[in-house]
Structure 1
């Protein structure tokens, strides 16, 4: 019923005396005019910010053999925060990278921000050595329109989604004070440049 335009039919008897008889009520059922059915929208997979496999690596070989590109992670809501924390810690500690790139879109943005704020406390570095920079933006994504009727033509539509890129760097020795007169406990912001 929501896909139709309902137009009441008026009887002449209603116009004359302002009242409608039972016989007139039966005759004056609403006329339902069907509207064109809306096409089904299929969301296509957006373009990845980083390639899945770097061009210099073997795409069919095991993932454990690849070293290049392991520090670039696309955050989704499907993977738990604990798995991302373990993977990011492995990138810094075991693989020896000094930079980590996180990218997320849409509903995964809060997940990526929580990951970026939780990660410094799990790393074996001084929090003042961890520098984080955040870049926000938007990405155009395509949707495929699948028509309900066979007579109609399908097509595509473009929409924009919010995106975020977070770069976490380990800068040894930066931000460390040698002056012993200052207190050992200082406030810090892991999101400052």
Structure 2
């Protein structure tokens, strides 16, 4: 089996991804499951995205992400399953998820751990709020073979659009991520 993990951020940079699926990569590898990640943002883009200013760099980062997604459409057929964490793109209609479902006809798992259908913009990036399409979560839920929700509240939302919903609580790999002992 080959899985493509479509995610917003570069591997190893965002807690949401680390705790939702990245911590399972060694297990997948041990089971002989091949996988690849397809982040929207590059490492360089991640460095400036939530900083104040850097408008031109942010615009270029988003354009680069959309170009990566266009390239991704050419090789999605190599995978047996597409796992979409949160969204394929942060702005606009969920065209890429639509393409997975209707052009490539690949099973898609849609995973989210926040109420991402609610409008939310940071102070530093508020100027792009009008480009967001907040109904995309409902559409992606509808198109997914399975929806993986982080808790019962999120699962209830997803079930409005898809009966195939599992509650997959965010977990922490305590062997990899732990607090050191504070006493001898």
Calculate the TM-score normalised by the size of structure 1: 0.32
Greater helix fraction, Structure 1 or Structure 2: 2
Q: Which has the larger radius of gyration?
A: 1
Greater strand fraction, Structure 1 or Structure 2: 1
Calculate the TM-score normalised by the size of structure 2: 0.33
